[in-house]
Amino acid sequence: MQSRKVRPLLVLSVVLAALLVVATALAIYFGLRKDASSAGFQTVAPSESVEGAYWQAAVTTNGRPCAPIGADILRRGGSAVEAAVAALFCEGVTCPQSMGIGGGFVMTIYSRAAGGAVTLNARETAPAAATYDMYHGNATLMQTGGLAAAVPGELKGLWEAAQRYKSNNVTWSDLVMPAVRICEEGFPVTAYLARAIRNSEASIRRNPTLADILVNMDGSLLQEGDIMKRPQLAQTLRIIAEEGVDAFYNGDLGRRFVKDVQDLQGIITMDDLSNYTVKWERPVTSQLSDGHTLYTVQLPGSGPLLAFIINILDSWIPTASLAATWQRIVEAFKFAYGRRTELGDPDFVDIDQLIKNLTSRDYAAGIRKSIFDDRTFQDPGYYGSVLSQPENHGTAHISVLAPNGDAVAVTSTVNLLFGAKVRSRSTGIIINDEMDDFSAPNITSAYGVPPSPNNFIAAGKRPLSSMCPAIVVDPAGHVRLVTGAAGGTKITTATALAIITNLWFNTTVKESVDARRLHHQLFPMSVQYEEGFDANVIRSLQSFGHVMEPYEVGSSFVSTIAVNRSAPYQQIFANSDFRRLGVVAGF
């Protein structure tokens, strides 16, 4: 009799406990939104992008099929790195405007068990025959055709990452074959890819090797919704799935690729391919005042600049004044891009002291003394700059969080849209134009500023990049944020804003990614802001002396995974930028 009375009480207790969990989760979620508003963060109408909510794992990508492919690898017990590799192979097929196996990447990897991170630099290198003045002042040759190509590092990087972080639950072929099937069966052209094709129409029609895959049989450009197939690339990827990447760096695939590049006036040789090596490195690390730790990539990526921005602003924003908050952010950007003009490949230039400064909290504190809440300066020299660096353009970013707490942030590129605007017909590989990321003598910037010798071309050198994939962990070593961006020179500021808004403005991940962005790269001397940015802030910045320059929404693209451990259970939220119509997947 007593057990019958107890049973309803137990049921009632379970129901009340469940309601308490739900109420707590809702309170946290809406509390974050309230905090974001009170911090003065300007939320905008939600975009059409999906904010994925998961319990164990998440993947964010640009290509529509790619996030599910990465998530499937995780479900099968694959590592975070294996999931990222599978997603990158897919992205290389579905995002030909931005990346592929003809390019290179930088990757930040966090191991929960080890409690630390490493980075992988698979950035392209200048061919052995390259010289600092090889373009003789002709900027076009740095951007178009075979001579614009640097030695691809993507495949070697994917292979070494997958081998070092092998789970033994999936095979190398499992990571490559989904991309093969997409090549063969085709995939729908997205609105973003269709826009990239339209914007590159003149170059596509001038170069039959690219027109082969981007122009329909009737002569029209591929449109949104058209099915794009890549049969030659499918054959190449199938060989790589069966034989590994040695087929490219030391085999027949590589010989065919080299011949195609040389037929397009390039200087890459088989020796360049066989001598290519990736670099495993310790990350740039920044300890934040609240106990969080930022991990990102070394030079020639822009991890040191990202850490510099975050160190300047750490515990200094938000302020009571929204205008002052954004003034401090913009000025931090300006000081970072002032230092960028001194950077280059540390294997070739002595910049050890500069890197120590950029990653020093004391140095950042000193910079704050030169930032004022009510005025700015138009002299680039005030911010430490007398030289220019070239802008970079393409790229795609992937974020991965695995059930065991490991994470990967990786950014890959072929540089400009569709790289050098040429394709290896025998392999289907779109050729990069990474040589354009170097500075070159006698090629002055559009703003009349001379080029930086620290980023001049040298054989085997890697060019400077804005890429800075980042992972933030909490004081207990749990992943808090996995983020990064695409969008050329705006990559570093977009990634910084993703961290700033998530950690300090307490936004939801979707609010953070949807939010309109500001950017300043010192040249030009203006604040570039996305249309729809807070008009009051724009007016305030103008009154401080900034030149304000609006630009259309869609020049930078953020991909973020955020983890909320404040609830009684872990909650994972993921969002890929609506500006590129990216996707998320998880479980």
Which residue ranges are tagged as binding site? 123, 413-415, 437, 465-466, 488
Q: Which residue has the tokens 């910045």?
A: 541
Cα 281 to chain centroid, rounded: 18
**Tally of CB atoms within 10 A around 352:** 9
Distance CA 415, CA 431 (A): 10
E strands of 199-242, at which residues?
227-228
Catalytic residue (one of 395, 411, 483, 501): 395
Distance CA 444, CA 461 (A): 21
Q: What are phi and psi of 199, to 5 degrees?
A: -70, -20
E strands of 112-160, at which residues?
116-122
Mapping DSSP to helix (H, G, I), strand (E, B) and coil, where does residue 63 land?
coil
HSE-CB at 241 with a 13 A cutoff on CA atoms is 19
Annotated catalytic, 94? no
Cα separation of the two ends of the chain: 43
Q: Is 178 exposed, middle or buried (0-12, 13-18, 19+ CB in 10 A)?
A: buried
Asked whether the CA dihedral 62, 63, 65, 66 is positive or negative, the reply is negative
At residue 443's C-alpha, the angle toward residues 440 and 396, to 5°, is: 65
What is the length of the chain? 587
Whether residue 240 contacts residue 176, with contact meaning beta carbons closer than 8 Å, is answered with: yes
Annotated binding site for L-glutamate: 123, 413-415, 437, 465-466, 488
Q: What are phi and psi of 144, to 5 degrees?
A: -135, 135
Query: Which residue(s) pair with 60 in the sheet?
Result: 399, 584
Q: What are phi and psi of 107, to 5 degrees?
A: -135, 135
Helix axes 231-243, 252-263, angle to 10 degrees: 140
Nearest CA-CA partner of 443 in 489, 392, 390, 394: 390
Q: Which residue has the tokens 């020049």?
A: 555
Pairing of β 116-122 and β 104-111: antiparallel
Q: Please identify every residue annotated as catalytic.
A: 395
